[in-house]
Amino acid sequence: MPSDYGYINARVKGWHGRLLPAGAFAELADLPDLPAFLKWMEGGPYAADWQLARARSDGLDAVELALESNFGAMTARLLAIAEGRPRRLIAVLLRRWDLANLKTVVRGIARDWSGPEILANVWPAGTFDRVRLKELAEQRSLRGVADVLATWRDPFAAPLSDCLPAFERDRDVVPVDLALDRCHYAAALRELSGSGANKGLLREMVRREIDAANAKAVKRLSGGDGAAPGDIGRYLIDGGGTITAAVAAALMDPRRRGPQLRALRGTVYHAYLTGGDPLSDEDELDRSLWSAWARLYRARPLAIDVVVGFLWQKYYELVNLRLLARAKNLGLPPARIREQLFLR
C-alpha cells in the first residue's frame, strides 16, 4: 500500500469534493422545522448514514447518530489508506478527539448523565470508536472508566487513576481534565519530536493548543475563580510556544501584566485575554485556531497539510449540521442559528 502523501491526499481531495458547498448552512438554517431538516437528510449527501441510523433510532437522535457514524467511518478510512510514518502522524492528529471524548465521558459521569446523554455529545474518531465510547459512557463511576481504560492498555488510564482519590473526595473534574490534557500533550510532543516538516506542522498545532489552554487558565484565575494568582503553575500545561509558565506568571502579576499584554499584541491570545466575556471569548479563541487548521487544506499539496485541513473542514460541517438539527428541534429562528454556525 502506498504510504506517501501524494496518494493519501489524492484520496482526501476526492472526499473534500463531497463537502457541502459554501452557503449550504445558511440555506439549511432557513428550513422551517426539524421534519424539513430530516427530509434533507433523507435525500442529501448523508442519505446512506441516515438510512442506517433510522434503523436504530428516529428524529433528532437518528440525525446525531448518522453524523457521528459518518465521522467515525471517515477517520477509519483515512487511517486505512495510510501506513508507516504518515499513519503514525495521522493517529496523533486523531488522538485529540479521543481526549475530547474522554473528557466528555468524565464530565457526564460526574454530572450523573445517562449513557445516551453522554453519547449525544461525542465525536467517535481515533482509538475510541462508538462501541468503545458506549462502554465508557455506561460506567457509573470514574473508577469504572479507569478500569476499562486499563484493560485496553490505554495511556489515559494512569492519569485518570491517579486523580481518583481527589475526585472522590472533592467531586471536582477540573484536575481530572488537566491530568488528561497533560498526558495527551506530553505524548503528542514525544511522538512529534525530531526533524521533518510534517512533524513540525503538527508540533506547532499542539503547541498552539497548549497555549490556548494556558491562556484560558490565566483568564479564569484573573477573573476570580477562587484560586490565588500564585497558583497559576498548578493549572498550566508544559510545552506551549507563546503562553509559557513565565508568560503566565507575568500576566498574573499586576505590575507586569500590562507590559506582557503589549508583548502579545498581534496574537489571538492578546484579543482573548483583553476581551470581556470569558465564555464567548473562549469560543472565539477556539474558532480562530480551528479556522487556521481548516485553511491548511490549501497549503502544501504533497504534505500532511491537506489531511489536516480536510479533517477540520469535515468536522466543521458535521458540527454545523448537528447544531442545525438541534436548533430546528428547539424552533430557533434562522438569524439566531446563523450566529452560532462554525463557518468554513
Q: What pLDDT does 275 receive? A: 82
The span from the CA of 207 to the CA of 100, in Å, is 17
- CB-CB contact of 306 with 13 (8 Å): yes
Domain edge (last residue) among 135, 160, 191: 191
Nearest of 26, 21, 29 to residue 327 by alpha carbon = 29
Mean pLDDT over each residue of the chain, to the nearest integer: 93
Give the domain range for residue 30.
1-81+297-344
Residue 125's DSSP bridge partners are: 128
Lowest mean pLDDT among 182-196, 215-229, 271-285, 286-300: 215-229
pLDDT in tens, 285-296: 988 998 999 999
Residue 29 domain flag: yes
Please give the grid coordinates belonging to residue 179. Answer: 491530568
Indicate whether 131 pLDDT > 70: yes
CATH code (residue 37): 1.10.132.50
Q: What pLDDT does 1 receive? A: 38
Q: Are residues 13 and 76 in the same domain?
A: yes
CATH code (residue 164): 1.20.1690.10
Indicate whether 277 pLDDT > 90: no
Q: What pLDDT does 222 receive? A: 84
Dihedral angle of Cα 74, 44, 286, 104, to the nearest 10 degrees: -60
DSSP of 220-272, one letter per residue?
A: HHHTT-S--GGGGGGG--TT-SSS-HHHHHHHHSHHHHHHHHHHTTTSHHHHH
Nearest of 54, 52, 46 to residue 28 by alpha carbon = 46
Burial 20-38 (b: 16+ CB within 10 A, else e): beeebbeebbebeebeebb
Indicate whether 3 pLDDT > 90: no
Confidence label for 340 from pLDDT (cuts 50, 70 and 90):
confident
- CB-CB contact of 206 with 176 (8 Å): no
Q: What pLDDT does 276 receive? A: 74
Question: Total domain count for the chain?
Answer: 2
Domain edge (last residue) among 191, 210, 240: 191
Residue 235 domain flag: no
Q: Are residues 180 and 91 in the same domain?
A: yes
Please give the grid coordinates belonging to residue 104. Answer: 466528555
Confidence label for 227 from pLDDT (cuts 50, 70 and 90):
low
Q: Are residues 70 and 23 in the same domain?
A: yes
- CB-CB contact of 45 with 18 (8 Å): yes
Q: What pLDDT does 137 receive? A: 97
Residue 76 domain flag: yes
Residue 129 domain flag: yes
Average pLDDT over residues 270-283: 81
pLDDT in tens, 27-46: 999 999 999 999 999 998 99
pLDDT in tens, 53-87: 999 999 999 999 999 999 999 999 999 999 999 99
The SS3 assignment for 57 reads: coil
Q: What pLDDT does 342 receive? A: 81
Q: Are residues 71 and 138 in the same domain?
A: no
Domain edge (last residue) among 168, 191, 214: 191
% of the chain with per-residue pLDDT over 70 = 95
